[in-house]
Structure 1
């Protein structure tokens, strides 16, 4: 692979990162707050590739330019393994992977593993109160549902089958990127929809004082009494 070809491959890689960053595609891989860093990385790759390509063209246009190989195997070409850089670029440009879903929930333990002994503030105003699954889980398990009792609550997530065969409401929580994603699992009772796994839904209901143990990591799984639910399209930002 010549140096000019290496620069072209780098342009493709940087361009693929930029394309994913300026659209919502990057949300399949990383948290929303990392977008500026991805854009910066893509710009740096493209600029570096363009500079390298210009330098290579200037070298080739020099009348006294030396041949690519000096006769001792020390040419200006890099190893052919550099072509492998095209694979992630092609994947970013043409392959749109699904977000982590029910399969991850079945294999990974719930995120409620650290005891957050803090004073939880009252729920936000409105009926129902709109909570993330993680916020509901912390309040239900570590605050014993004190701030949840007596309020109608709205939760949004996708369905996954629990170890007991009953549906759970799940959302994947990211610390940085999809590679460290862990599920937050909420058991469901009451008017539970009979729809396939990975179906996104918005559920309205109430906290109930019941928990179970996740067989994967022995974390607490709180429960939610569903009173009403609505099937929705998957959100642009699928992770919490």
Structure 2
């Protein structure tokens, strides 16, 4: 691969990173706090690409005819490296969904602040994250959830027995380390809803639990009273 090809690939790759970083597309790959680092990386790649292309043209202009006659070119197949970069620019892959959730075991919801959980905000229903709900349900025995109407948002995935579950992918850093948090659904659960459909369920806590067959982790349940389909949120990961 000659310098010009390298410069073009760097330019497209840096442009793809910048495009994702200045929109919400990057949220499908990494956590929100990494945006400044992605922008800095994209700028550095674009700068390096421009310098590489400039030096390539300068060397071509300063070389003699004899130099051109003896110039060695890399194999043309090197240009194929542009194809995956163009894929990043032109095709926006979906966020991790039910397939990834079914392949991995549910994350362990860690207790927060020992056994003392802060009271929920006033007003019903209270919007809770799936990790927060699971943690309060499993480690606080649902005491901080008792008597409150709750609302959870996630995508539908299917348990091994065919029943619907609510899930959301949890990232430590990026999509490569994503693990699901899964919540079982009782009551008026959304039956026959396609996997990966995003829904908001409203209901109350239930003490029922089960085990995730993938890694034998405790899974909390939620008693659904009503539900509605919603658009995928800007930040799909927990």
Same topology, TM > 0.5: yes
Question: Contact 2:109–2:131 (CA<8 Å) still a contact in 1?
Answer: no
C-alpha distance in 2, partners of 1:237/1:175? 14
Between Structure 1 and Structure 2, the one with more helix by share is: 2
Q: What whole-Å deviation, never above 9, does each CA across 1:195-227 have from its counterpart, x for those lacking one? A: 111111111111111110101000000000001
1:96 and 2:92 are equivalent in the alignment: yes
User: What's 1:166 paired with?
Assistant: 163
Deviation of 1:192 after TM superposition, in Å, equals 1.0
Q: What whole-Å deviation, never above 9, does each CA across 1:147-168 have from its counterpart, x for those lacking one? A: 1111111100011111222111
Map 1:144-163 → 2, pairs under 5 A: 144-163=141-160
Residue 28 to residue 21, structure 1, CA distance change in 2 (3 Å): same
> What is the TM-score with the length of structure 1 in the denominator?
0.90
Residue 69 to residue 179, structure 1, CA distance change in 2 (3 Å): farther
Question: What is the alpha-carbon root mean square deviation over aligned residues?
Answer: 2.1
Residue 64 to residue 198, structure 1, CA distance change in 2 (3 Å): same
User: What's 1:122 paired with?
Assistant: 119
2:175 to 171, 174, 178: 178
Map 1:43-82 → 2, pairs under 5 A: 43-62=43-62, 67=67, 75=72, 77=73, 82=78
Q: What whole-Å deviation, never above 9, does each CA across 1:76-110 have from its counterpart, x for those lacking one? A: x5676753542331121112212111111211100
- Give the match's secondary structure for 2:196: coil
Question: Contact 2:109–2:135 (CA<8 Å) still a contact in 1?
Answer: no
Where do 5+ consecutive residues of structure 1 fail to align? none
> What is the TM-score with the length of structure 2 in the denominator?
0.91
Where do 5+ consecutive residues of structure 2 fail to align? none
Alignment size in residue pairs: 236
